[in-house]
Structures are given as C-alpha cells and as structure tokens.
A = this chain, B = another copy of it.
C-alpha cells in the first residue's frame, strides 16, 4: 500500500486526485491539505464526496508527514509549489508536482515564463512526467514535474514523428480547445457561466505559458530548436481537451511510416489509443478515461499532415497522468486504479 497525501485538495485537480486515490487498489489516502480550508472536512468543499471520503483538510507540514506518507501530490498553483517540494523531498517523501514548477530542464526558460526558481537543484533533478515517453526515468525519480494538459495532447501526437524524423520541425501549428475546468476553480469573469456558455474564445494567442514547455521537449527530441505556433481556445464544456495539429512531413514519407512510428512508441501503451486511418478522436470518447486518442489525416501528394489528439484534461491532462506516474514510480502496472471505464456518456 502506497501511503499518499494530496496538497491543494480544494481545486478541481485536487479532488480528481482524491477520487482516483480513493479508488486505487494499491494506494491509501493519508492526508489532504488546503490552506484556505484548513480544519474543514472535504465534504464541505465537495459535497459529492459525502459518504466516500471523510478526511479533514490539514496544513502541509513536511516533517509531520515523513512517517505518514510515501508520496505527496502537489496540486498547487504555479510558483507556489516549489517552496513545498524541497522539505518533502528532504523528509524522504516522493513528490509529483502538478504545477509548472518542475517541468522545465532549462531553468532560464522557466524563469522567463514564470519567475525566479527557488529550488534549482530539484528542478535539475526532476523528471518530466509524460509517462509514455519518460517511463524509464520516472521509475527512479524522487520528483516529477507532471506535464501541462495542452503539452500532453500535443507532445503525445508529435513526439513519435519528431523522434523518427518524419516531421518538418519548422511548420508545426497546434490549435487546441480546452474545457473550462482547465482554468481551475478560482473565480474570474472568463469562467462565469454566462460568459463561457454558448461561446468559444481564443486566448493568449502567441504567448501561452505552455508554448515554451512544448518547445523545450520537442527540441530535446528533435535535437534542434523547434518552434510551435500554438493557439488555445476556451470552449463551453466542463472537462475535455482536443488539439488539432497541422504539419508537413519530410520528403518521401508514406502513411505506413507514420503508423509505424506510432506503433513503435505506443504499441504496448494502455493509455494511448491510435485510431485507424479515417477515424478521428472526439472529446466525448475520452471523457472520464486516462486515454489519449490520436487520429491522423495524411495527404501523400502535398505532404500535409493533420493530427487530432484528445484527452480528458483532468485525467490524462492532470490527475490521471499523475497517478500513472505514481504507478510507474512504485513498480505497479500503469493501469492500476485507472483502467476502469468511467460512466460519463
């Protein structure tokens, strides 16, 4: 039994983790923390949990946790997480951080996008938690930077083609659509029901913080600087994310090369579903699952390729992938606690 703690229990990612760990056959939820709800029962924050989970929100105290938990999930805001990770690691507690604070290997890139990093050693040590690509490193890691939701859809679709040098790295465009839960539970006019409902709005065009995260990982695997044009859109669904990615292949690539590249990396992966030619993902097909569905439209004449990649932003895009990473770190099969079929239509 892995003893687990979750920090940031009052957010959408936090409660998603709580649900997953509650259902997990090999993990036990020992503590949840929340600075704003300290001392309050979880069911005050999420009444849906009545009868399923009776924990009380605690304060995060690394020392006190050292004997109680093996692993801590940090579902805290960007720039806040870094202060909590270090004392936990020092107490011998493994950390899976769901903010951006431990995703970058290039510190300058992080600092340009976010702020000065106060846990540089850990940043260097941390492993990017894109499970299918970094499984070997995740196994031995003490600290994981769990990927962003947009990067997860885009990287899983692109990396096999980048690594196999199939794709022209200079012409990549990703048009992504995210459900509102991706913006979190804090209040803003953009997430007011009447503003988000019945509308689609592109935002942070050309300067979303996930762009450097995507580009860093692509560049590492391309072994050269890769730039991506990325436009996210807020869409009126609670949970779900889909990216439509446009690119060009390098010369003399055939459809079979593309499928072979995907097979090479994902044939044995339980959570990447490569769709047959002519089939395409839909947000609804992955909702409530930890799957990433990938579909591909390729025009051999022009070399143009269109990739569609869909996830549930709170599962494969956040809490689900985090639990998958926990499974890998603790020697369990990836699917443990994740392979049941969710009920949402």
Binding site for B on A (CB under 8 A): 12, 16, 18-20, 22-23, 47-53, 171, 173, 175, 177, 180-181, 185, 187-189, 191-203, 205-206, 227, 229, 231, 233, 235-240, 242, 244, 246, 270, 273, 275, 279-289, 291, 293, 297, 299, 302, 304, 306, 308, 312, 314-315, 339-345
* Cα-based distance from A219 to B314 in the complex (angstroms): 44
Contact A200-B237, Cβ < 8 Å, known A181-B194, A206-B299: yes
A175 surroundings in chain B (CB, below 8 A):
175, 244, 246
* Cα-based distance from A244 to B18 in the complex (angstroms): 31
A20 surroundings in chain B (CB, below 8 A):
343
Who on chain B is nearest to A276 by CB?
Answer: B50
A193 surroundings in chain B (CB, below 8 A):
180, 191-193, 196-197, 236, 238
* Cα-based distance from A199 to B178 in the complex (angstroms): 10
A199 surroundings in chain B (CB, below 8 A):
237, 240, 282-284, 287
Contact A50-B273, Cβ < 8 Å, known A175-B175, A229-B304, A342-B288: yes
* Cα-based distance from A188 to B187 in the complex (angstroms): 7
A235 surroundings in chain B (CB, below 8 A):
177, 200, 235-236
Who on chain B is nearest to A199 by CB?
Answer: B284
Contact for A291 among B23, B51, B191, B343, CB less than 8 A: B51
